[in-house]
Copies of this chain bind each other. A is one copy, B any other.
Amino acid sequence: MMDLAAADRHLAARLPQGVLRPVAPAYLEEPRGRYQGQAGLIAAPRDLDEVAAVIRACAEARVPVVPRGGGTGLVGGQVMPQGPLPLILSLERMRRIRGVHADEAVMIAEAGVSLHEARAAAADAGRQFPLSLASQGSAQIGGVLSTNAGGVNVLRHGNARALCLGIEAVLPSGEILHDLKRLRKDNTGYDLRDLLIGAEGTLGVITGAALVLAPVPAESGVAMLVVESPEAALRLLSMAQTRLAGCVTAFELIAGQGLEFLAEHFPQTRQPFAVRPEWAVLVEVGLPEGLPAQDALERLFGAGCEAGLVSDGVIAQSGQQAAEVWALRETIPLANRAVGAIASHDISLPLSGVADFIREAGAMLGAEGDMRINCFGHLGDGNLHYNLFPAAGRQRGDYDAVRHDLSRRIHEMVVARGGSFSAEHGVGRLKVADLARWGDPGRLAAMRAIKAALDPAGIMNPGAVLSF
């Protein structure tokens, strides 16, 4: 391993002018401030060949490579706080949309295109790119795929993985993987696309992708319905999917606690119900022409009431009202941040285990002491953001002694129920120990074998996903 100055000289001699850049603090940060990256080298290649040249040069010199997209990840996959000084490989200059094939419902985007830009390009072509998440203004396609991002429309359209037909990538050897196919069906060998998707930059760098576009539904609408319990919410989901042939595009759980946080910290947000409910769901549908969404939602509301699942509700009567309902949902994470979580958990469970988990975890935490729980998220996917907050009048710091243990107990409850301790955020560096603890031994052994086979020198994002 070379020292930094030698590595810099080695790379400068092998790369076109302008690829290497001065280190800047923005490349060393992550949103939650848990990790501080080390100041090594920064490269911002302009095209595939330059990415390959960077990786080849780093492989020769054994310089670790940390790929970086928008830097919005929440588990520290984008920063390397320890080990040898890395090269940070930013995809920010690969931001061409190479083609929008509206009739095929496919778009070819480079890794540095922001999710927002990709969505806008799809909209310009009369289609939608249905991946949607809070950080879409900054998050980039490469990062979104490398972390297999989720968001609010997974129920209908799947995670990032399901929205990708093919990728272009540079492997740890510097070899290029040309697999940017626009095919719905192609059974010609191992699925390397899905192996790199979700590998968080540890098996190579995704430089471009063929993305699936979806039709913009002729009719769409949103409702917020009050339900008695998470059980009732799940029965309502099943009813909705059956009635609507799987056309439910989002089904978000909202806890009364979340609405209370909103009232406290975002009083300007219009609350939909005079009496704050204990549980509500946001239901979004995207329907064929000839079936107005408001009618369909009204019928669902009626059927839900009749079945004793729904007690109150509002159905957006305009695009403006629909946007307001969504704004309420999307402000909850901001309200959470304003309150300051003791601990947050991005978990998923088999759908039929969700309600029991919420009840039993609540009971466990109630016995542990005074705190508030805001449990919200993508219920349709079994994905909860299960976040703990100080009791009113208490501080985050009051829980320092128990925070770690509480998280571990929550994760244990999740894993015991066949759930996941990282539903959509990934492993990064934050959950490496969790994966080592709870991962299936056969699966971990195979992961390590694949990592060693594709990246024998261990240069790609060392310390992420698997321990050094």
Interface residues of A (CB under 8 A from B): 101, 103-106, 126, 147-148, 150, 154-155, 158-159, 161-162, 171, 173, 175-179, 181-192, 194-195, 197-199, 203, 214-219, 234-235, 238, 241-247, 286-291, 295-296, 299, 348-352, 378, 380-383, 418-427, 431, 434-435, 439-447, 449-454, 465-466
Contacts and interface: CB of A to CB of B under 8 A. Distances in A.
A142 to B, nearest CB: 16
B439 A188 contact: yes
B187 A435 contact: no
Contacts of A101: 350-352
A181 B439 CA distance: 12
8 contacts: A104-B351, A105-B238, A182-B418, A184-B381, A189-B447, A189-B465, A190-B195, A288-B288
A218 B190 contact: no
B186 A422 contact: yes
A261 to B, nearest CB: 24
A392 to B, nearest CB: 32
Specify which of A154, A195, A203 lies most central, judged by the most chain B CB atoms within 10 Å of its CB: A195
Nearest to A188: B422
A291 B244 CA distance: 10
A186 to B, nearest CB: 4
Given A101-B351, A194-B195, A215-B244, 15 more contacts: A104-B352, A179-B440, A184-B380, A186-B420, A187-B427, A214-B246, A215-B242, A215-B246, A217-B245, A219-B245, A243-B289, A244-B288, A245-B286, A247-B247, A287-B288
A458 to B, nearest CB: 14
A100 to B, nearest CB: 11
A247 B186 contact: no
Contacts of A383: 184-185
A290 B286 contact: no
A184 B442 CA distance: 21
Nearest to A157: B246
Given A185-B150, A187-B423, A214-B246, A449 B453 contact: yes
A453 B439 CA distance: 20
A247 B156 CA distance: 11
B442 A350 contact: no
Contact of A183 (B104, B190, B245, B423): B423
Contact of A447 (B162, B192, B444): B192
A445 to B, nearest CB: 6
B199 A190 contact: yes
A220 B120 CA distance: 33
A420 B453 contact: no
Specify which of A185, A419, A434 lies most central, judged by the most chain B CB atoms within 10 Å of its CB: A185
A423 B350 contact: no
A135 B193 CA distance: 28
A432 to B, nearest CB: 10
Contacts of A215: 241-242, 244-246
A426 B187 contact: yes
A445 B171 CA distance: 10
4 A-B pairs with least C-beta separation: A453-B453, A194-B194, A217-B245, A186-B420
Given A171-B446, A247-B247, A423 B186 contact: yes
Nearest to A354: B104
Given A190-B195, A296-B290, A442 B171 contact: yes
A185 B288 contact: no
A214 B198 CA distance: 25
A419 B183 contact: yes
